[in-house]
Amino acid sequence: MMKDIATPSRTKDILARHRFSFKKSLGQNFLIDPNILQRITETAGLTKETGVIEIGPGIGALTEHLARSAGKVVAFEIDQRLLPILDETLAPYNNVKVINEDVLKADVKTVVEQEFAEFDRLMVVANLPYYVTTPIIMKLLEDKIPVNGFVVMLQKEVGDRISAEPSSKEYGSLSIAVQYYTEASIAFIVPKTVFMPPPNVDSAIIKLDVRDKPAVSVEDEDFFFTVTRTSFAQRRKTILNNLVNGLPDGKEKKEHITSALEEAGIEPSRRGETLSLAEFASLSKTLLKKGIGK
C-alpha cells in the first residue's frame, strides 16, 4: 500500500518539490488527515460499481481514497499548476481522469454520458472550494445532472443553512432550493486543524441524497424559487411585505397577493422563515392563479 498523500510530511514534500504556492483566490486548503478522507469515502458508500465526480482535487489527497473505493473518478481542476502534481500523485491509479476546467463552465452532462455510461450509481464527492460552494451545488442540481447524491465538504455555516428546518435562524432560500431536490443532512464536522493552510472557519461534511422527484410539486419551478427568494429578501419583514416589494408589479397587486396568501392558508403577517416547502409550493400556485408571476 502506498503512503497516503494526505499526511503533513508528504503534502509538504510534494508542494516543496513542485514549488507550489497557495492561491487565496481559489480557496485552496488541502486536507492532511487520512482518517477524515476515509470517513468521507465511507459516508459516500462507494463500491467498484460507483462512478465519482470530484471538484477541486488539489494534489489528489481525496482523489486517491476515492480511486481505491470507486470504479472510476473524474476530477475537475481549475488550477493548471496542479496538473503536473496530479499526474505524479495519481500515477498509481488507472481509474482517474483529471479535466482542467472550471466545473461551473463545463458541460458536465456530456462528461457524465461519455465517462460513466457503464455505472448505475454516480456520486459527487469533493472538498469544495468555499467561495463557490453554493453555485456548484445549485448548478449540478438545476442542470439535473443524473447523480444519486453528494458528499461534500463545505463551510459549517453553509452546511447548517442547507440542512436547516423551518423557523430556525439558518433556514432560508438556500435550504429550500437544496431540499427541494435532495434530502440533506450533516454527516460530521471537520476541525480547522486537519488542513494546510488551516481555513478561518470550521467545515462540515454534508450528505445530499437526490430525490426521485422533487419534495413538492410545483407548476413553475423558476417562479417557485423566485417566491422563496423574495420571501427572505428582508428576514425581519412579513411575507406580505417582502412579496409586495419584491415581486414584479407587487405594489399594484398587493390585494391579489394578500388574497393568495389567505387562500393558501398563510397569515400575511408571518415571516418567510416559518413557511415549509409545502406552504411555499401552495403559495406559488395560488399566486400564479391570481395572475402574479405570469
77 annotated as a binding-site residue: yes
- Positive or negative: CA dihedral 64, 66, 72, 76: negative
Q: Amino acid identity of 130?
A: Y
15 annotated as a binding-site residue: no
Three-class secondary structure assignment of the chain: CCCCCCCHHHHHHHHHHCCCCCCHHHCCCEECCHHHHHHHHHHCCCCCCEEEEEECCCCCHHHHHHHHHCCEEEEECCCHHHHHHHHHHCCCCCCEEEECCCCCCCCHHHHHHHHCCCCCEEEEEEECCHHHHHHHHHHHHHCCCCCCEEEEEEEHHHHHHHCCCCCCCCCCHHHHHHHHHEEEEEEEEECHHHEECCCCCCEEEEEEEECCCCCCCCCCHHHHHHHHHHHCCCCCCCHHHHHHHHCCCCCCCHHHHHHHHHHCCCCCCCCHHHCCHHHHHHHHHHHHHCCCCC
202 annotated as a binding-site residue: no
219 annotated as a binding-site residue: no
d(CA 179, CA 209): 9
241 annotated as a binding-site residue: no
Per the listing, cell 461534500 goes with 152
148 annotated as a binding-site residue: no
- Residues contributing to the annotated binding site: 29, 31, 56, 77, 102, 127
- Residues contributing to the annotated binding site for S-adenosyl-L-methionine: 29, 31, 56, 77, 102, 127
